Amino acid sequence: MTLELQLKNHIRQALLALYQLSENDVVLQPTKKDFEGFYTFVTFGLTKALRKPPVQIGQELGQYLLLHAPQVSAFNVVQGFLNLSIHDQTWVGLLNEIIADKNFGTKPANGHSAMVEFSSPNTNKPLHLGHLRNVFLGDSISRILKADGNEVVKTCLVNDRGIHICKSMLAYQHLGNGETPQSAGLKGDHLIGKYYVLFDREYKRQVEALTATGLPEEEAKKQAPWMKEAQQMLQKWEQNDPDTRTLWQQMNQWVYDGFGETYQKIGANFDKVYYESQTYLLGKDLVADGLTTGVFFTKPDGSVWIDLTDEGLDQKLVLRADGTSVYMTQDLGTTDLKFKDYGNDRSIWVVGNEQDYHFSVLFKIMKRLGRSYADGCHHLSYGMVDLPSGKMKSREGTVVDADELIAEVTAAAETEGNSKGKLDDFPASEKTQLFSMLGLGALKYYLLKVDPQKRMLFNPAESVELHGNTGPFIQYTHARIRSVLRKAHAMEVPLGAVASDVALQNSERELIFLLTQYPERVADAARDYSPAFVAQYAYDLAKGYNSFYAEVSILGETDPVTLSARVCLSNAVGLTLKKATALLGIDVPERM
RNA sequence: GGUCCCAUAGCUCAGUUGGAUAGAGCAACGGAUUUCUAAUCCGUCGGUCAUAGGUUCGAGUCCUAUUGGGAUCACCA
C-alpha cells in the first residue's frame, strides 16, 4: 500500500474516532514547497459538518495522527491546511521497497488488451513533422499502456490507394523516365513525393491554361487532362489492370522502403499493418445489417444514411447511391476487422483533432450497431503542429520534412557534444550513436511534453535545445548518475538496502517522495492517454536529482552508512529515469 | 449559420477530483566549480490566469454570456 493510501486510512480513522464521521473519499495533496511537510489535508470542507473552525480541526487531526500514525513525524496547521511531515525511517523503508522491486512502476498483466493505431501515412509523400507527433504519441502511449498492465497491439493503417496515389503514379509515368531511388539517389518516399509535387505543378498549369480560355475554374479543375487521366487510372486500378497494378506496387514498395528507414531511425515499429487497398471494400455488409435493424435508412436516390440529430450531430452518409463506399463505410468495416483479428477490449486511434467529428460519428454508429466493443473505442485526438511562420501547408512547401528534421537535431547534438571535449575518447561509431540518441531525445521530448490535445508551436531553435526542460537534460542527468555509480562501484560501496536509521537531507526526502509517485504518474498517463505526464515527471525527477547533487557530496561522504544511502538513492533515481524515458521512446546514455 | 476545441509571465508550456503567496523552461541580469560530468546548480526580474457576470467558506479550474484564434459540419480520405 502506498504511503498516501496509508495516510488516508489514518485520517479516515481519525475522523471516525474524533468526530464519529465516516468520510470515504479523503483527499491528500502534495504540500506546497513554501510550507513544511509532504502531504496536506484540507479541513475547510469539514467545518460545516463539525461546526468547528478549520484550524481547530487541523490541530485535533494532527495531534491524533502524531499519536496513531507511525509514519507521521510532525505536523503544522496553516488556516485550513494540515501539513504532515514524514519520519525518515518511513522514507528509507519506501526507498528500500523501490530498490527491491525489479518491476517498480510496471503493473502485472491485468488481462486487458488494447490496440493502438498510429502513423497511418499516405503513400504519396514522405513523413513530416505532423507524422512525427503522431508516431511519437502512438509509440509512447503503447508503451505506457503496456506498463499499466495491458497487452498492446500496435497497428498502422496505410493509406495506399486512391486518387492521390494515382497522381504521383501518373506524373511518374509521364516524367519519370524509369527513374528509381537508386538512380536518383533519393529515399523512395522522397522520390514519390517529388512526383506528387510535379503532378500538382503541371496540374495547376493546365488549370490556368483552361481558365485563360474562359472556362470557369470549377470546370477547368475537372477538365484538366491530368486530372481526367488520374481518374481513369484509379478506375483501371480498381479493375485490377495489370500494368497499373505493377506500377502501383513498385512505387508503393519504394515508399515502404523509405518509411522503413525513417521508422527504424526513430525506433518505431508495428505488430500489424493494415492496407487500405485490402480494407476499402469492407463495411458494406455492416451497412446492410444496419439497414435491416433500422439503424440506417435509405434516401430516395438509394444512398444510405444514419440520423444522429437526436444526439446533437447531423445525418451522415454511410453508402453512396451507386453502392460505393465512403470513408465511413471502410472505417466501419476496418474497425470490425480489427476486433475480429485481435479481440482487444480497447481500440485507440491516434489521429489529429480535425477528425474529431468523424470519430464521434464512427463510435456512435458502432454503438447503435450493437458492437460489444463500442465502449472500448477511443480517439486519441491531438492538436496540429504549427510553425512560427504559421500553419504547415504541403501545397506551399512549408512542411517540415521528418528526415531532414532528424538530421538537424542530430547535427545540433553533435555540435554541442564536440564543443565539450568530454567525448574525445569516444570511438567514432559510439559518438554517432550518442548524437542520434540525444538528437532524437530532444525531438521526442519536445513533441511529447505538451498535452496531446493541445495545438502546439514548433520552434526549430527550441527543438534542438539541450538545456533546461529538454530530453538531453534528462539524458545528461542519467549519464551523471551512471558516472557516480561507476566510481562508487570502484570504491566498493554496497548497493543493497539502505540502513533504516540513516539521517536524510531534505533534498533526499524530496527525491524519495518523487520516486514513490512514479507508478501513479504512469497510471495517470495511461488513464488520460497523455505521455506528457511522464515527460513532466521525468523532468521533475532529473531536476530534483541535480539539486541534490549540487547540495550534498555523494562520494565525498565520510560516513559509510550515509555514503551507501546516497549511492543507493542515486541508483534508484537513475533506474527510474531510464524507465520513464523509455516510456517516451527515449534512450539514455551511460556517458555523455 | 450549427457543433466542438483552445485562450495562464516577453516567448514556449505546467497547473491533479475547486484549496495556501498561480509554477517551470527559454530570453535578460547576477552568482556558484582546488573535490562525484558546469549539457549542472542557486538567485533576481517578469502575471488584472482573454472580458463580464454567476455558483461558495474558497474559482486559473465549474456554469452562462461576450471577444479572439482553430477545427468541423463533403456522395474527399
In 3D space, the residue among A2, A89, A134, A182 whose CA is nearest the CA of residue A456 turns out to be A134
How distant, in Å, are the alpha carbons of A180, A419, A591 from that of A424?
40, 10, 12
CA of A418 to C1' of B37 (A): 15
Does residue A421 have a pLDDT over 90?
Answer: no
The grid coordinates of residue A466 equal: 539541450
Please check whether residue A166 is in contact with residue A150, taking contact to mean a CB–CB distance below 8 angstroms.
no
Distance of CA A184 to the CA centre of its chain: 35
Contact A438, A413 (CB under 8 A): yes
What is the band of A245 on the pLDDT scale with cuts at 50, 70, 90? very high
The answer to whether the C-beta of A432 is closer than 7 A to strand B is: no
Q: Kindly state the average pLDDT of the residues A92-109.
A: 96
The residue with cell 468523424 is A358
Sign of CA dihedral A365, A366, A371, A377: negative
Task: Estimate to the nearest angstrom the gap between the alpha carbon of A439 and the chain centroid.
Answer: 18
Tell me which residues from 274 to 293 on chain A have a beta carbon below 7 angstroms from nucleic acid strand B.
276, 280
Question: How do residues A123-157 score in pLDDT, each as one tens digit?
Answer: 999 999 999 999 999 999 999 999 999 999 999 99
Using a 7 Å CB cutoff, list residues 401-430 of A near strand B: 413, 416-417, 420, 422-423
Q: Please write the tens of the pLDDT for every residue from A48-83.
A: 888 899 999 999 999 999 999 999 999 999 989 999
pLDDT above 90: residue A364: yes
Q: What is the DSSP letter of A186?
A: S
Paired with A122 in beta bridges are: A159
List the domains of chain A with CATH numbers.
3-86 (3.30.1360.70), 113-277+334-386 (3.40.50.620), 402-583 (1.10.730.10)
In percent, the amount of chain A with pLDDT more than 90 equals: 89
User: Strand B contacts (CB < 7 A) among A residues 348-387?
Assistant: 353-358, 383-384
Residue type, A544: G
What are phi and psi for residue A84, nearest 5 degrees?
-110, 130
- Give the model's confidence band at A162: pLDDT under 50 very low, under 70 low, under 90 confident, else very high: very high
Look at residue A373 and tell me whether its pLDDT is greater than 80: yes
Question: Looking at residues A492-519, what average pLDDT do you find?
Answer: 93
Determine the protein residue whose CA lies at the shortest distance from the C1' of B13: A450
- Can you tell me the mean pLDDT for A197-213? 92
Tally the C-alpha atoms within 13 A of residue A218's C-alpha that lie toward its C-beta: 0
Query: CA A456 – C1' B13 distance (Å)?
Result: 9
Give the whole-angstrom CA distance, residue A243 versus residue A577: 54
**pLDDT tens-place string over residues A318-343:** 999 998 889 999 999 999 999 999 99
What is d(CA A366, CA A476) in angstroms, rounded to the nearest whole number? Answer: 47
Alpha carbon separation from A504 to A334, A498, A500 (Å, rounded): 57, 11, 10
CA pair distance A556, A88, nearest whole angstrom:
22
- The pLDDT tens digits of the residues spanning A446-475 come to 999 999 999 999 999 999 999 999 999 999
Phi, then psi, of A11 in degrees rounded to 5: -65, -40
Which of the four pLDDT bands, split at 50, 70 and 90, describes residue A425?
A: confident
C1' of nucleotide B35: residue with nearest CA: A556
Q: Write down the pLDDT at residue A334.
A: 95
Q: With 90 as the cut, is the pLDDT of residue A4 above it? A: yes
Q: pLDDT band for A395, please (50, 70, 90 cuts).
A: low
Please tell me the predicted confidence (pLDDT) of residue A1: 79
The answer to whether A64 touches A16, Cβ cutoff 8 Å, is no
Report the distance from CA of residue A200 to the C1' of nucleotide B70 in Å, as an integer.
27
Cα distances (angstroms) measured from residue A74 to each of A61, A70, A248, A355: 12, 11, 73, 53
As a whole number of angstroms, the distance between CA A357 and CA A325 comes to 19
CA–CA distances in Å: residue A8 to residues A13, A41, A49: 9, 9, 19
Q: For the beta carbon of residue A42, count every other beta carbon within 10 angstroms.
A: 15
Nine cell digits for residue A298: 435509405
> For A526-577, what is each residue's pLDDT tens digit?
999 999 999 999 999 999 999 999 999 999 999 999 999 999 999 999 999 9
SS3 readout for A288-354: HHHHHCCCCEECCCCCEEEECHHHCCCEEEEECCCCCCCHHHHHHHHHHHHHHHHCCCEEEEEEEHH
Helix or strand holding residue A436 (H, E): helix A428-448
